[in-house]
Structure 1
Amino acid sequence: MYLLSRLFLFLTKSSDVARKEREEAYLAESADIYDLEFRMRKLDREKAGRHPSWMNHYG
């Protein structure tokens, strides 16, 4: 029963919620404040590089 409930939660979770949870887990693994800042900057750079495919011809 536990496995079925976990599977249901996994399948119903939106992609935005899942992405946010992965990012928070990644940040939580940081060793110190410097590592945390590095990881935060890395995530910010990755987000800045993402854009919708319809915008490819604008860049």
Structure 2
Amino acid sequence: GYNAATAKYEDMVKAGVIDPTKVARTALQNAASVATLLLTSDALIAEKPKDDKKAHNHGSEDMY
């Protein structure tokens, strides 16, 4: 990874930078949540509502 303090690329473990388990776990959970949302959102926007003219004019004649 990039060390901004020294402006060099180095092994982050050797430099003492280690991700806490909670941070890595939360990142994976959030990524899985977003992936699930993207996979299921196409089902929400894919269905077209049925055009039922009787329900729209409520018994009156069309205005156009």
Tell me the TM-score range normalised by the shorter chain.
0.3 to 0.5
- What TM-score do the two structures reach when normalised by structure 1? 0.37
Greater helix content = 1
Q: Could you say which structure has the larger radius of gyration?
A: 2
Higher strand share: 2
